[in-house]
Structure 1
Amino acid sequence: MSMTPLRSLAATAARIPNVIRSITPAACRFASSSSKSSSKASTQTSPLPKDDWVLPEIHVGPTHTSRYQQHYHDTLASDLMYMSYSHRLAQKPPKPEPIEPPQTGYEANRPRPPIMRGNRALRTKTTSVNEENVPQLESIIIHTMVKEAIINKSTLLSAIMALRAISGETPNGGGKKGSSGVEVIVAKKSAAAWKLRAGMPVSVKVELKGQAMYDFIQSLVDFVLPRLRDFSGIPLPPASTPKNSPASLTGIVSFGFSPTTMSFFPQIESNTDAYPRLHGFHVYFKTNLRGENAHEHARTLVSGFRIPFHRR
C-alpha cells in the first residue's frame, strides 16, 4: 500500500478547520440578519386582539325550488279566486242612516226597544275572497299521540325522531328564527281512569311554515299516498253536518294516518331500523279562511295539491 493516499487525506483533514473558521462568521451574519427580518415581520403581522374579531353572520338561503309552492302562486291561487269569488260579498254594504236626535221630551224619555237575547253563538263574519285575500296555507301541524308515554316517557323518543326526520325542523334551525322544532305536549288535566296526571308528556307535534310545509306536501303526495293500499281519499264530513258548527266555520282541514303510513316517507324508509316504534299521526292544514263556507274553501285549496277526498 502506497503512502500517497494517506498523505492526501492528512492534508485535507488539516485544511478543514481553516474552512470552518472562514464559513462561521458569514453564517452568523446571515443568521443574525434573518432573525432581525423575522422579528420585523412578526411585529408587522402581529395578530389582532381577541376583542376585535367579529364572527360573520351566516344566512342559509334556498337550496332548491319548491314545485308545489310555484304551483300555488302560478296556477292554484288564480283558480281558487275564480271558483270562490262572490260578487255579493265583494260589494260594500251601504252605510246605516244616522239616528236623529229626539224631537220632543216624550220621545227622549221613551224606553229603548228590547235587546234580542238567546243562547246561540254569534255567527262568524264571512270573509270575502278577492285579489287581496286569496285562500292560502298558513301552516301545517303534524301531531302524534303516544299512549305508552304515560307508563314510560322514553317511548316519546321514537316519535320525536320520526317527526324531526319527516319535517326537518329543529329549534331555530336553518337560519329560521321562528322555527320551534318538535314540541312535547303535556296533559292539562288529570284523568284517573287512564292513570293520567296533569303535566305528564303524552304527545309531540311540529308546525311547518313557509317552504317547509310545501316540501312536506310533496313528500306526502308523491311518495306516501300512492303506496297506501285501498286508499280512495280523505273522507268528507256527512251531508247532515250543520254549516254553522265551529268545525265548519274554521278553515282547518285535518285527517289522520296509521302507523304504517309513517314508514313510507323517504326520510324514514331509508333507515327504518333507527326507529324502534312507529306511530300514527294527524295532519292539520291551517288556512287563512274564517266564517261561512270556510271549511269548503279550505278543502278546495287542499285538493288543489292533489290530495283526494271522497264521500262516505
Structure 2
Amino acid sequence: MSTTPIRTLASSASRIPVIRRSIIPCSSRYASSSSSSSSKTSTQTSPLPKDDWVLPDIHVGPTHSSRYSQHYNNTLAADLMYMTYSHRLAQKPPKPEPIQPPQTAYEANRPRPPIMRGNRALRTQTTSIEPESVPKLESIIIHTMVKEAIANKSTLLSAIMALRAISGETPNGGGRKGSSGVEVIVAKKSAAAWKLRAGMPVSVKVELKGEAMYDFIQSLVDFVLPRLRDFPGIPLPPSSTPKNSPASLTGVVSFGFSPTTMSFFPQIEANTDAYPRLHGFHVYFKTSLRGENAHEYARTLVSGFRIPFHRR
C-alpha cells in the first residue's frame, strides 16, 4: 500500500487539464467527413444572393364555371335559334347589284358619299339569325346618376363603392382582359339652370363582360328580383312605338331600379352600414342584334335568363 498522502493526490488531480467536447452540428460534421474523403479540388457551393431569388407569379383563375353561362350555351342558344330562325330569309337569293350610272372623269376614282335623307342616319340592315350568328350578350352596363355630386364630389364615393361591390370590379379592371373597372362620368356640356359645368363628375358606371356579367345576372335573378315587393316585371314599350325608331333598331334592353333594390344584393346586404347612402341605378343589356326586330329579339334573349316582362 502506497504511503502517498491524500492531499497530494488531490492537488495532482486538480492540475490535469479538462478536455471540453465541442458540439458540432450534424450537417457540418457530415460536410467535414465528406470533404476529407473527397478530393481537395472540390469546392463548396455558396448560397445564392437575395437578388437572384425571383418569386413565382401566382395567378388565381376562376374556380368554377358560371351556371348562367352554361345555361346559355347548352339550352338558351338552341331555343333562340329554333324560335327566331326564318327559312325564307335563309333561302332568299342575294339582291343583284344596281347598275351604276356612268361617272365623269372627276368622280371615277373618288368614293361616293352616302345620300342622307332627312335628319336621321342610314337605316341598318336586318341581321338574319343563322347558326353562326345566334343572338348573345356582349356586355352589361350598370349606371347610376348622383345629383348631389354637383355640389359635393365626395358623394360619388358611396356610388363607386356600391358598384364595385355589386360587379366585383376594382380599379383597372382587376386584371381582367377587356374590362375597364368602375368609371366616373363627367358632364359634356354646361347647364346654368342646374349649376352644372362641363367636366364636372356627375355619375358612375361599370361595364361587365364575360363571366362577370353572368355572375351579375345570377345575383340579380336569384336574390334581388324575388325580394321586390309587388314586382310584376320589366315594363314593355307600348304597342304604338314605331318599329323604325332608333331604339327599336338597336338590340339594347334597359330598365331601372330604385335605391332600395341596391340593398338586396348579397354583397351590400352583408355590410349595409359601410354604405352611407344607396342610389338608384340603370342596367343596360347590350346584345349582338342590329336592324329590324332587334329590340324584340333582345327581350327574348333577356327573358331566357328568367327576367320577367309585362305589358302596361
Short-chain TM bin: 0.7 to 0.9
| Residue 285 of structure 1 pairs with residue 262 of structure 2 | no
AA matched with 2:205: K
1:1-312 paired onto structure 2 within 5 Å: 15-20=13-18, 23=19, 27=22, 37=32, 43-48=44-49, 50=51, 52-94=52-94, 96=96, 99=99, 118-119=117-118, 121-172=121-172, 175-312=175-312
Query: Within 1, Cα distance between the matches of 2:56 and 2:297?
Result: 46
Shift in Å at residue 176 of structure 1? 1.4
- Determine helix, strand or coil for the equivalent of 1:183: strand
**Aligned partners of 1:173, 1:99: CA distance in 2, in Å?**
51
In the alignment, residue 288 of structure 1 is paired with which amino acid?
A: S
* Distance in 2, Cα, partners of 1:27 & 1:216: 69
The answer to whether the 8 A contact 2:158-2:277 is kept is yes
CA 1:11/1:309 → structure 2, altered by over 3 Å: closer, same or farther? farther
Measure the CA separation in 2 of the matches of 1:73 and 1:218. 15
TM-score (norm 1): 0.82
Q: Give structure 2 stretches of 5+ with no counterpart.
A: 1-5, 36-41, 103-113
Q: Secondary structure at the match of 2:162?
A: helix
Higher-helix-fraction structure: 1
The 1:76/1:15 distance shift into structure 2, 3 A limit, reads same
Q: Is the 8 A contact 1:251 1:295 kept in 2?
A: yes
What is the root-mean-square deviation in Å for CA atoms of aligned residues? 3.1
Greater shift, 41-50 or 241-250, is seen at 41-50
1:67–1:190 Cα change, 3 Å: same
Q: 1:55 to 1:241 in 2, by over 3 A?
A: same
Q: Distance in 2 between matches of 1:245 and 1:98?
A: 27
Instruction: Name the amino acid aligned to 2:76.
Output: L
Instruction: Tell me if the contact between 1:59 and 1:175 (Cα under 8 Å) persists in the aligned partners.
Output: no
- Equivalent pairs counted in the alignment come to 286
Q: Structure 2-normalised TM-score?
A: 0.82
Tell me the amino acid that sits aligned with residue 61 of structure 2: G
1:106 aligned partner? none
- State the distance in 1 between where 2:147 and 2:153 align: 10
Measured against aligned partners, the alpha-carbon deviations of 1:81-132 in whole angstroms (never above 9, x if no partner) come to 1111112222353352785999xxxxxxxxxxxx987315422111110111
DSSP 3-state at the match of 2:132: coil
1:46 CA drift (Å): 1.4
Q: Percentage identity across aligned positions?
A: 79
User: Which residues of structure 1 form unaligned runs of 5+?
Assistant: 1-6, 103-114
- Which is worse superposed, 119-128 or 261-270? 119-128
- Range that drifts further, 199-208 or 88-97: 88-97
State the SS of the aligned residue for 1:155.
Answer: helix
Amino acid at match of 2:268: I
Alpha-carbon spacing, 1:296–1:97, altered in 2? closer, same or farther (3 Å): closer
Residues 216-267 of structure 1: per-residue CA shift (max 9 Å, x gap): 1011001000110110000000111110111000000000000000000000
Q: Deviations over 1:183-212 (max 9, x none)?
A: 111111111100011111111011111111
Paired residues of 1:259 and 1:279 also in contact (CA < 8 A): yes
Distance 1:87 1:201, change over 3 A: same
**In structure 2, C-alpha distance between the alignment counterparts of 1:116 and 1:271, rounded to whole Å:** 57
Change (3 A) 1:267 1:116: closer
Q: Distance in 2 between matches of 1:199 and 1:116?
A: 35
